[in-house]
Structures are given as C-alpha cells and as structure tokens.
Chains A and B, each alone.
Chain A
Amino acid sequence: MTSVSIRNLEIRYGQHAVIDKLDLDIRDGEFLVLLGPSGCGKSTLMNAVGGLTDASAGSIHFDGKDVTWADPKDRGIGMVFQSYALYPTMSVRRNMSYGLRIARVDRATIDRKIEWAAEVLQITHLLDRKPAALSGGQRQRVAIGRALVRDADIFLFDEPLSNLDAKLRAELRLEIKKLHKAIGSTMIYVTHDQIEALTLADRIAVMKDGVIQQLDTPLNVYNKPANAFVGGFLGSPAMNKVEGQFSTRDGTLTFETGGFALDMEAYPFEERVETGQKATLGLRPEHIVPADGTSRQLEGTLSLIEPMGSDILAWSDFGGISMAHRLSQEDSYTVGNPFAVNIDTRKASFFDQATGKRL
C-alpha cells in the first residue's frame, strides 16, 4: 500500500499546459476518482503517475520517494485501460503472466497467482482463449487480472468501463468496488461518468483545464459543489441555474430573479453577501418538491413531463424561468396545469457570477 503526493506538477505540449501546477495527495489505500470532461487532463495526470508521460516540471512521490523519472515497471503499479489493451497474439494466461515472465518469476508462483486472480475475477474457464474470442466484459476482467497478478501497490484505471454497455458497466463497477475492499490497494480511477465517480470513490477530484476544481468526498462534491462548473458537471438531469441578485425584504435576505424571489435565510453562506450582489442560484431537481398543504413557496405551470421509470422528470415554468424537478411516478399530472412547489433552500448552492465560486 502506498500514498501518492504530486507536487507542483506541470505537463506541457509546446506552449499548451495540459496539467498546470497541480498538487494532489492520495492517501494510502484510498480510492480516488479523477472526474472531468474529455480534454480536462485527467488521463494525462494518470499517465504521469504511471510514468507513461514525462513531466515538464514538478515531482511525483510514492510513499515519500521521488518517482518522477522512474520507469513505469519500477513504480509498483498496475493499469487497466479503456481499450483493454490485451496483447492480441497471446492467450489470456500469457497476457496475465507477461509481466511476471519478464520479471523472471518462477513458474509455480506465476501459476499460483494466475489461478488466484482468475478465480477472483471468475475467468478461470477463459484462460486458454485469445482476447479476440472474448466479450468486452470478459476482456476487461482479464485486463484487471493482468494488473492484479502484478501485486501492484497502486492500481490505475483509465476509463475502464467506458467501452461496455450499461448493464455490464454496472456489474463490473460493483466488482471493482469489491476488489478494492478485498485487497485494499490505493486506486486511482479516471472517468467522465459521474455515476462511477459517485459510487466508487472515497474522494473525487473534479478536473477542468488541467486544474483540480474540487477534491472531496462524493457527498460533498455533489451537495456542496465548490464552483459553478462542479455543480453543473455532476447530477443528471443537470442542476437548474438561475441568475439573479440578493436583496433584503422585510429584513430577510432574499434572492430575486426575473421570475420569482426566494427567502434565503436558511442558506448556509460560506462568504458574506451584500444586498445588490449578483449571483447564480443552483438548484438540483430533487430539491424542488411539490407543495403540500402547509406551504407554497413558488407557483408555476407544469410544462413538460418525462417518465423515467422510477420517477418522473418534469419541467415547470416559474414566472418565465423553466426549471427541472422530480415527481413521484405514483401520482398523475397534467401538463399545462398550475403547479406549486417548495424549495429546500438549505440544499441550494450559490455561485459568484464573476468567479463561479461557491458563496
């Protein structure tokens, strides 16, 4: 087991900085997910950890030891790729034993390790097949097995599930989580899929333009996004964003938009806001709930409903501002009818309009 510290890391291609002065500490045995849109530098960062991309500046340490310029094979890592990267001319067994054979591990040990890994991943019956004869899910199991037999201290997963269909993806996601529980190695996992990030991670690092936007637990990243980008990137359907400004009405802090005004006394502000200050309100669809008998914070019109199976995604119009919200599938609704909702303002987010930072 190994901790990773990245200090002031910079990776440039020509003038373009893919990773810009990045610091990151990964704890021993932690499952860290690097989450971000394509081109945000997450894969480059992982390649740098694996020693597959040269750093332009800065350093990388494993357990306090500088490995910035160490060869990939000397870093004690195992890596699983999106495209599986199985050696097409070798059988599954030879694929998994390749690294051990190069390291001149003795036959008996190799066999024992492969039997063990194959059992863990339930691929024992596939050992003598060629990769071409396997399905996508089986190939990815083999790829994980290849990393497993190496006794890696750190596992690097580079979008390992992105080439699989939804059902397999969910299945393997669970397996990876179990694997982490079982072997306890440090794991770094790159993905653009927020569900994977939220379900797997101990901590998520949300990246954009080569910079970590927020590094926190899945719950905090989801509930308290550090900025507008993180807020918008996580959550499906996306967070509703409404622009407006703060004002004081009857002594209470209020957020006024073009269509409605909301009492914001309950919101846990992290920064001081002033009357007249412009901001963006971020509201997740599940935090807008149909009004019960006691209070009706907002009145609007139901304009569109999309049944999603487990619940219903609805769009309503509040004074000219359209917002998505969730409805229970057990009730029936009619589009065009007036619709009143309550908003859980404690769970809302405010972002500074200029910097995008959470307020």
Chain B
Amino acid sequence: MQTAQLTWHVRRNAVAYLALLPMAAIVVFAYLGTMAWSIRLSFSSSRLLPRNDFVGFAQYTELFGTSRWLTSLENFAFIAVFFLAICFVLGTLLAIFIDQNVRAEGLFRTAFLYPYAMSMVVTGLMWQWILNPDLGIERTMRDMGFSGFVLDWVVNSNTVLYAVVLATVWHGAGLVMALLLAGLRGIDTDLWKATRIDGIPAWRVYAFIILPILRPMIVTSLVLLSISIVKMYDLIVAMTNGGPGNASEVPAKFIMDNLFERANIGLATAASTTMLVTVLLIIAPVLYSQYLGKKGSSA
C-alpha cells in the first residue's frame, strides 16, 4: 500500500487507533517492557537493587547450581504431569458418567465444579487441615480404632507433593468435566444412532470417536489448567509454604522469595526468564494453532 493510501486509511480510522492506545500501552510497557527488563536484569549482578552491569550467564550458572531451584523444577514437573493427567482422566470420566442420563445431574455438576470457583488459598488451607495428622483424616481413623492408619502427606517430605496434586486435582478436575460435558451435549445425536446401528461398543465409541471430536475442548481445558499450574504460588504458600524443608518448593515461589525476601533480583529474574522461555517453548505451538492458525481471511 502506498503512503497516500496509508495516510487516508489512518485518517479514516483515527479514532479506532486512539481507542486502542491503552491496550497498546499496556502491551508495550506492562508486558513487553517488563519482560525485556526482567531478561536484562537476569544478566546483571543485581541483588537488593537493580544494577546496570553485565555479568553474562553468571546468574544462570548460579541458579542451576542452587539445589532449591533444581528441587522446585523437579517438583513443578511432577505436579504438572500428575495434575494434568489425573484431571484429564477424572474430568473425562465424570463428564461421561454424568452424560448417561443420570438423575440429579445438576447436583453432580454443581458439586464437581464448585471447587473451581474457590481461591487457591482456600483450597490449600482446606486440604492442609484435612490431611493434617493431628486433626484430619489420620486422627479420625485412629480414633475409630485403626491405630496403624497413616495419612501424613502434608508433613512428610516424601509425600507432600501427593498432597499438592490431590488439592489441585480437587480444584481443577471440575473444569475438564464442565468443558467436556458441554462438548458431549453438542454432539449430533445421529452419530450415536449410527454407532448403535453399527454395533460399536460404548467404550470404543468414546475412545475412538467422541474424544477425537472433543479435541478442542480437551485442548482448551488442558491449556487453562496449564496456565493455572504455571502461576501456582498461593496454593503452595497456604498449604505447605514450600515445606517440609524444600520438599514442595515451586519455581513461582522460589522467584517471589528471591525477589522480595532474599533480595536477590539477579537470581530471581534469571529464574523467571528460564520459566518464560520454557512456557514459550511449550505454549507457542498450541497458542498458534488454537488462536491464530485458523484465522483465515475474514474479509
């Protein structure tokens, strides 16, 4: 397009450009600018205050020599894998079972999804109490005569991650259920008639016909859950505060501690840059295919 045309175009749509200024400002300053500065700081020796020097990858070397960070990465991977897998399986099962023409469907739906409306802080606190050996299920079972009963996940550093996964699954499984149920309800009833005439067993229909149709819903729910797991900070703070020891440390909390308590900005920004790159590598293809790939020419 020639300059004259461009001038005309901008002049005719000037108000639209003005209206998008707040968004542009937020994208440029609050998202891209901050991101760039975080990355810049990760190559400096900043501690309590930002410094303008350049120390190359020193912070990254230190970061990956820090056992607490490595632990937090391992924990993150563990939580993410089990959380996503269990949420997916459980949520799918719940959706399929609810879809079998059950009575009181609304009740079941409400019961399975309400945790998703609760905050992570509340979720963490609740499960901390229920799994607390002095108060919760273990104490109750022992009082009932099962003296050998052990359920000490939150206070045992070998099992604390199970407790975290349990709490997050409780929080997130309903989301998968709700989205897949909506998808199941959208499936053409003729499809069911066709599979019945062909005599295909129900489990095969679900596994090989229905789930592939529901792929967009599945992707959506897993993307949403992944975002929540990457951002997971409050649940850990409320439930275990990273303990016992470092046993339930996660990257988000590691960064926050180094930013605001340990006054180690360089290390914290190196860690956040690492997370940024990781997320970008994982999410970029999904994001592309989901939102921009199918855009086509809308004209």
Contacts and interface: CB of A to CB of B under 8 A. Distances in A.
Asked whether any CB of A lies within 8 Å of a CB of B in the complex, the reply is yes
Interface of A: 13-14, 18, 44, 53-57, 69, 71
A71 B12 contact: yes
Contacts of B2: 57
Interface in B55-114: none
Given A44-B299, A55-B5, 11 more contacts: A13-B297, A13-B299, A14-B297, A18-B299, A53-B299, A54-B8, A54-B9, A56-B1, A57-B2, A57-B5, A71-B12
Interface string B4-31: 0100110010000000000000000000
A18 B297 CA distance: 12
> Which of A44, A69, A71 counts the most B-chain CB atoms under 10 A from its CB?
A69
Given A13-B297, A13-B299, A69 B12 contact: yes
Summarize A's interface: helix, strand, loop or mixed.
Answer: loop
A195 B8 CA distance: 39
Contact of B5 (A14, A53, A54, A71): A54
Interface residues of B, number: 8
Contacts of A71: 12
B78 to A, nearest CB: 46
A9 B9 CA distance: 16
Contacts of A54: 5, 8-9, 12
A53 B5 CA distance: 12
A44 B2 CA distance: 20
Contacts of B299: 13, 18, 44, 53
Top 8 A-B pairs, shortest CB-CB distance: A69-B8, A13-B299, A13-B297, A54-B9, A56-B1, A71-B12, A69-B12, A56-B5
Contacts of A14: 297
> Which of A18, A44, A54 counts the most B-chain CB atoms under 10 A from its CB?
A54
18 contacts: A13-B297, A13-B299, A14-B297, A18-B299, A44-B299, A53-B299, A54-B5, A54-B8, A54-B9, A54-B12, A55-B5, A56-B1, A56-B5, A57-B2, A57-B5, A69-B8, A69-B12, A71-B12
A71 B9 CA distance: 11
Interface of B: 1-2, 5, 8-9, 12, 297, 299
Contacts of B9: 54
A54 B9 CA distance: 8
A18 B5 CA distance: 17
Contacts of A18: 299
Contacts of A55: 5
A102 to B, nearest CB: 15
A219 to B, nearest CB: 35
A71 B15 CA distance: 13
A57 B4 CA distance: 10
A48 to B, nearest CB: 12
A57 B297 CA distance: 20
A279 B299 CA distance: 38
B298 to A, nearest CB: 10
A54 B10 CA distance: 11
A281 B297 CA distance: 39
B21 to A, nearest CB: 22
B119 to A, nearest CB: 37
Contacts of B5: 54-57
A56 B5 CA distance: 7
Contacts of A57: 2, 5
Contacts of A69: 8, 12
B123 to A, nearest CB: 41
Nearest to A11: B299
A44 B297 CA distance: 13
A55 B5 CA distance: 8
Nearest to B298: A13
Nearest to A68: B8
B114 to A, nearest CB: 34
Nearest to B297: A13
Nearest to A43: B299
Contacts of B8: 54, 69
Nearest to B1: A56
Contacts of A13: 297, 299
Nearest to B299: A13
A206 B36 CA distance: 55
A53 B299 CA distance: 9
A282 to B, nearest CB: 34
A56 B299 CA distance: 14
A56 to B, nearest CB: 7
A18 B1 CA distance: 15
B226 to A, nearest CB: 33
A119 to B, nearest CB: 37
A67 to B, nearest CB: 12
Nearest to A12: B1
A44 to B, nearest CB: 8
A53 B9 CA distance: 10
